[in-house]
């Protein structure tokens, strides 16, 4: 928790100065995950799929492995060359991370955490940023989704200014002009000192436990079943004739996960999903914009790792299929909502409502 820092800026020289400062303080920096380290990768991904779900999935993976970032340092405005209606103020990435942090605040173990964000701004944005520091609620002014549950979470921040001020620690440095990086590094060093004091003054958030008990039994991996066509069915990537009972049980082109989808079994389950797509390509291929349902019946067994595991998998491995939806039973869905990585899968569930 509060170990690694994420840096997202178009100014590569500034990025190197920041990294040098952090290394001198023996602070870790994220360098591996492309969607948390490269604005070029982020731009390409947004243009490819039309939204930021992959970025949220990558951020969820980061949180799962390292906890909250020590700092998220990012340009306040970034031009991704999107249509005006999709990003009118060049703050699409800012909204993405604010929303991810807001959803995390409602997850078990993060209630008393702090989102430490440092914006890189221009001089003419200074007065606006001072307002945000004083009242972070203002940052949520243009964040709205099609899901009323998420909007309710946003509204809870807007209505509770003290809660928002406590959770979001907003600071800034200026974009250096004429090579004057030293002054901004001094400013950032003072911010680090302030954050260090905040972190030292709070107790470590409780260890996050999965919303369901980890399954300790040696359960076999869930079967992945898809009725490929009128007379064909795919089971774990193998194509065979469909039985009479299966004809009444499975709808064509729906993917069913039957059995244990747990931390231990998910690697094989994901392999079976990929094998299903490969087999379908030979018989009745999924179209890139086709509505694809992945169904988990109530009888299937999941644990607290499922949301982040399947959410990240869908965002990365199946990103070209833009209308994948996860249809999950009520009791399992209730468990997922209490799990650490629910926000990584939530977009896929929302599409199914």
Asked whether 2 and 70 are in contact (CB, 8 A), the reply is: yes
DSSP-based three-state secondary structure for 71:
strand
Expressed as residue numbers, the domain containing 191 is: 4-201
Q: Tell me, what CATH number does 264's domain have?
A: 3.30.750
What is the four-CA torsion angle of 24, 30, 34, 36, rounded to 10 degrees? -110
pLDDT tens profile 312-333: 888 888 888 888 888 887 777 8
Shared domain for 246 and 154, answered yes or no, is no
pLDDT at 216: 36
Ranges 6-10, 190-194, 302-306: which has the least confidence: 302-306
Query: Is residue 267 in a domain?
Result: yes
Residues 39 and 154 in one domain: yes
Say what the pLDDT of residue 202 is.
Answer: 64
Q: Mean pLDDT highest for which of 106-110, 111-115, 292-296?
A: 292-296
- 149 and 242 share one domain: no
CA gap 74, 9 in Å, rounded: 6
Q: Is residue 208 part of a domain?
A: no
Closest CA to 340 of 155, 67, 1: 67
Mean pLDDT of 137-152: 74
207: in domain: no
Residue 278 near residue 317 (C-beta atoms within 8 A): no
> Are residues 337 and 307 both part of a single domain?
yes
Q: How many independent structural domains does the chain possess?
A: 2
pLDDT tens figures, 25-34: 999 999 888 8
- The answer on 77 and 23 residing in a single domain is yes
In a domain, 117, yes or no: yes
Task: Give the least confident one: 127-136, 231-240, 257-266, 340-349.
Answer: 340-349
Domain boundary pick from 167, 201, 235: 201
Mean pLDDT throughout 171-181? Answer: 88
235 and 293 inside one domain: yes
Per-residue pLDDT of 242-255, as tens digits, reads 998 888 888 899 99
Interval 197-232: pLDDT, tens: 877 776 444 444 433 344 434 578 899 999 998 899
Neighbours of 172 (CB within 10 A): 22
Residues 179 and 77 in one domain: yes
| Residue 42 forms part of a structural domain | yes
Residues 170 and 27 in one domain: yes
Residue 51 lies in a domain: yes
Q: What is the pLDDT of residue 284?
A: 93
The one-character DSSP state at 10 is S
Contacts of residue 177, Cβ cutoff 8 Å, sequence gap at least 6: none
| Claim: this prediction has a pTM higher than 0.75 | no
Question: Is 32 buried (19+), middle (13-18) or exposed (0-12) by CB count in 10 A?
Answer: exposed
């Amino acid at each position: 928790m509060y170990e690694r820092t994420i840096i997202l800026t178009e100014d590569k020289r500034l990025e190197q100065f920041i990294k040098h400062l952090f290394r001198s303080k023996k602070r870790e920096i994220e360098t591996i995950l492309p969607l948390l380290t490269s604005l070029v990768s982020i731009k390409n991904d947004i243009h490819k799929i039309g939204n930021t779900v992959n970025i949220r999935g990558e951020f969820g993976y980061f949180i799962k492995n390292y906890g909250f970032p020590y700092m998220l340092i990012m340009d306040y405005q970034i031009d991704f060359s999107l249509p005006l209606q999709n990003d009118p103020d060049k703050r699409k990435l800012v909204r993405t991370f604010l929303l991810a942090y807001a959803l995390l605040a409602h997850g078990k173990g993060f209630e008393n955490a702090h989102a430490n964000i440092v914006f890189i701004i221009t001089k003419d944005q200074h007065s606006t940023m001072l307002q945000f520091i004083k009242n972070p609620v203002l940052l949520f002014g243009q964040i709205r989704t099609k899901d009323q549950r998420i909007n309710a979470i946003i509204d809870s921040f807007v209505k509770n200014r003290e809660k928002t001020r406590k959770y979001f620690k907003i600071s800034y440095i200026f974009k250096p002009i004429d090579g004057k990086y030293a002054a901004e590094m001094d400013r950032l060093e003072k911010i680090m000192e302030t954050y260090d004091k905040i972190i030292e003054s709070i107790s470590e958030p409780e260890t996050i436990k999965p919303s369901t008990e980890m399954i300790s039994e040696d359960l076999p991996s869930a079967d992945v079943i898809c009725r490929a066509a009128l007379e064909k069915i795919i089971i774990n990537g193998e194509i065979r004739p469909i039985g009479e009972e299966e004809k009444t049980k499975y709808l064509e082109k729906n993917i069913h996960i039957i059995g244990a989808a747990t931390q231990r079994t998910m690697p094989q389950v994901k392999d079976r999903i990929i094998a299903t797509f490969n087999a379908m390509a030979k018989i009745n291929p999924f179209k890139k914009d086709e509505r694809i349902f992945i169904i988990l019946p109530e009888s299937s067994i999941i644990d607290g790792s499922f949301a982040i595991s399947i959410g990240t998998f869908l965002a990365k491995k199946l990103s070209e299929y833009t209308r994948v939806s996860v249809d999950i039973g009520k009791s399992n869905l209730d468990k997922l909502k209490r799990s650490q990585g629910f926000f990584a899968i939530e977009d896929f569930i929302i599409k199914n409502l």
